[in-house]
Structure 1
């Protein structure tokens, strides 16, 4: 590698421009520049290897990069979008989609297609040369006086793993904490990274501001920027030129009052500084392996996105403005915005539109005015779940309690409202508004309390409304109590009458008399369950019309406990209608289980129940319709499986994993499914997987992790050995089934399939043999060709083997499974899996209830059931 040395002189090598401006060298500098070029030609060492520094002895040519020590970020020359212009920037090095987070010469690109150059001058300025290497086009203008540069070798630029490019002087500061004389974090472009500040340094005058790109092809400064308003309690604004677009609200000690979603964050830690030296907002991320960024796009939206390795894309987690009510001041003064209101805007209580004509024509910019002037009868009306008004005309007192705040505001007629800076807590803090209240909105969840000044009439109206609601509630409670008492009395009287009648006829023989039909018992309990879970009930006539009298042409499939039909409700929705078989003795129990379990489950990877129908002996459940049928319908068919590329299989595996994790950990009930298999995974219109068939499911108590049963249920080939042999089941039983399912999805083969070379072989054993021989990729479905990511598929196979290990304690939990599948991490070496309960060759997967009976599932679509 060649090396270029910058000559040390008593003058700077390049003229000193203002920061981020084009350098126009003086004519007297031409000989010196020519000499520099000759030196670079003879001794240049452009950086193309993995180093994280630029020194006086090195330069960076177009085509080379420097990479941070941990490999997270890279710095080099790039061309954005479809542009051919060259810029120096910093981007994520570990992200497959080039994502630039900082641009040096954003206003001064290199227009030529020849190679540019990045180096350091004698005053430690970072300088970019154009393609001809004769004209410096940009400098960061550090300009350290020559007298302070005692040893140029102690000065160098280093790219940190945070994405911050810093100028380090090893001769200053402690050895463990060198002094940064300049850093790119002080000059953000359109992206805010963890550890970066947005705001203003009141001591140095630095403005830490995000500015948008003009377009995806042009990183020069666009129309949008952030701005901090210091006229009242600090708030951050998004603006276009001088026009305000959106604001964060004030910092309420927990987060920005205008961003309720911040309080739901458990991945990031936010920080706000309001001191005589600076006003700034920053954040850190707890797990540094997760890439998260805030950025201001060219359309004027601030977004937070997270990189998903699984989908190789940025996932937008949050953005602002997010809806119509986020637009600054859209409802004018004293107007409140509600995005769920058809009219969007309304006036505060005690206010009316300033211009009724314009207001009715949907021009709300003039806002609202008071109906009556301030008087001695004024009071305060509490408004909840709102974004408190723009605080530019507000005063803050951090030592005043909320009660004293009310008293202080009441004394002054121009005080229009007050709130606690600390949100809705008891923290001593007071924020009082004087003048118009602007940019207020309602939230369904989040926001804080605001106390609005209203006149005596509005206070009386509010009190009357409250009393009316209270009186109405009390009347309802009394009425409900009376109805319950009357109903109980009627029930007791009817029961006594029936008991006396049966006894007189001599039919009371407790030991020999059969129990009442169980279907009636289920019907009664089901109505109670339906009411409890607010499950809509449909009548039998509606179901007959929806399915064309359960026409065979509409049948989607048949299972052990009944048939499933395609139906169409009166409102036009397509549904799957599960009709329990009248002759299925087992099905009644499973039907009850399904009602009691699935009505409580809400997850995107579980099939959703829509309603039910219970009439006499008919027991019917209605589910969302899955147009792509079940996974086995596609997976095990040579023709149809071609449509499942690796991307689809990858997303299906992760979707199933998240659904199982929800059952095990995140739902209100801890549920063991006990019958995970390909035919019980349904696919919606977008190929999202949905777990179904909860008829075999088992509910666990809060601290219960395993149980034993004498009635083994499930499907051979998917059962864990401890469950199949000993009846012992736990969340690890589902993990085993998931592992089998994962290997089936990758291979396109059933676990119980027939292997010609060894009839005793099943998929688990076959996978283990390939794994031990280092040939695991031979497991992959041939229709996927060779275009799949081999390392990722190998990782999935390894996780699948971990899931089917013989000992339950060796298997990972579903949370660990998802972490391993979705992240770059060290995966344990699997132990030998279990090779148990192999079906006969060419036999389908067999479901069992442990009683000797079985049902073969040939359904193209199956539906959830529970226990």
Structure 2
């Protein structure tokens, strides 16, 4: 082969190598790269694509994001909505200032810009994430400069926010397209109104068309269909910094979207793979009572009045224009009945059940009041027309009162709020008489039945009592709860000084048949997971109360004392950051604990999951950290009994529907005396990786043992890594040791969960570093050096100077320990490991 042939072949190879990148899907562009019309960015998992497109029959070109795996091209975000490119000359690039721009034929003046200026423009990069978010970030600092999710189009995707940044005034909201052929900003908007008691609205221009209502604990008051779905997870935030809602998707392979279309209809749909189509499962407005103010002020719209006019006046009111109402036009609304003046003796409230409470834009809110206190507060104020609770859930607190016309109330069928409308004494008596009259229609039958039942009870109760006493004697077994004090786990020492110990008992029994029915005979479809002592099932009592049932394995001696300890102990503890036990069931060989059901399961399912970490931005993580700290502080200091948990870990922290943390699993817990500092045990129980050195090695435990566990958990939340993880630069170390090494080298930022940056969140670096420093203080080698939980809570809540941490106590060698006892042989090896590690660390 001559030199000429070699030259030709070499040229062809170089040409092919140059073309190779264009055949590979990329998800990002740097400052020296561009996206031309025809090029496409594809997210790493190929969920979304970005490029130029033409909507409908239009020939204009826009830069947008669409579903990459959906055959039907579905646009979810548009950049240059009102500034299209007229031909295929478009170019998306990072300009000389480091910001995103779109050019047409004129490469000097951009048609659209992200309005970002960077001091070092060559450090910026744009990336399409698997959430559909297109972000521009600074490479060196991993700091987000701009993101598409901050500027939604007509589509709300999972993990996109709708709401308001209260500090900056920045607003996230949806706007419709002008038409199917024009994605420009249309007439309809979907947003949260922060005034009064914040609400969700659909507007046409500035005119409200539909009101989703206020957030009442787990849903919008005007969206009764919003019940927990297996694919959704809702995060609602309302604090001094932010008011927002975000819908997460639990199954990341499911495509779901909410769209406000060109005609002002909101629809939520999911892609059906087998049918190759979008399936709608909710829309609004869907019926006449959904239209804002359909029946005017001080009225109630009831679409279920078959054949009747849907508009009725609220108690104490009458139609303003009776003739219009006769013609079935209720838009004029209702006014107070003639001759009625408020603030007289004998006034009260009439309950209007199962409604969407009135527009609360001008309402007053007090989150600390109970429903009874809310009634008293409203009654004291002559201008108060009605009141309701801010939380629909049982036991929820919060008070909202209305002092102006009651607008846009409507009735639902099965779920809704109770609205209490203020009426005078005459109206109150009329409603009371009506209620009693309706009952008197069945009075004779009720009296007869009551008489028969009472007679039967008088005869049968003595017989039944004798029979049950005999049956109890026959069914005596070692699992009986006829005890007054926990026998082992309260304390190993014989000295007990707490005067209330003798009262520790459980009065929360459930019948086995009830639990069996609630869990559908412990079906696999109801199984939530499995712990060290047995499976956990979801159940439903009385078709409404959701529960979690922890079922100990049959014929297992292991776990019985832990089971008994948990019943006797946690039933006496009440705190918002502790899981609530509802009862227990002991029947034959069955031993079960019944808890409140928490839909988001455990913390470890989030922080160690690549797909579910998207729920945990830094604000949420800090709230979880502070909640766990407050729960431990309650156990150590503020509860009637001083409790040492001894098994604090990510899987023992559960998350409720609002992602609030609740500490669970008190089977290993110990009660300390008032003046007791520490205790010793020959039975080391807990989870490897969370145990403090003095406990693992010598069996010594105290409140500082829990502090150590909290420090480990805090590092896991910040980093998104398990303490027993593997590190290439130090394969013999765990997370605590790895963070300590980085801390000494001023490289602690390297441990921060990378998903925080890829999600586009600009988190406060100083605040994160502060949490890392607090965690290292908690895991110091010597218990006396560690802070108490009251100090930890104070450091987390206040921007004060905190001391530098000393060398932590951590194990360099790992074994496969799990929850439960460490056997004698393993314990000896365990101690030798720690002694070896301590010697090794001293040499260093």
TM-score normalised to the size of structure 2? 0.50
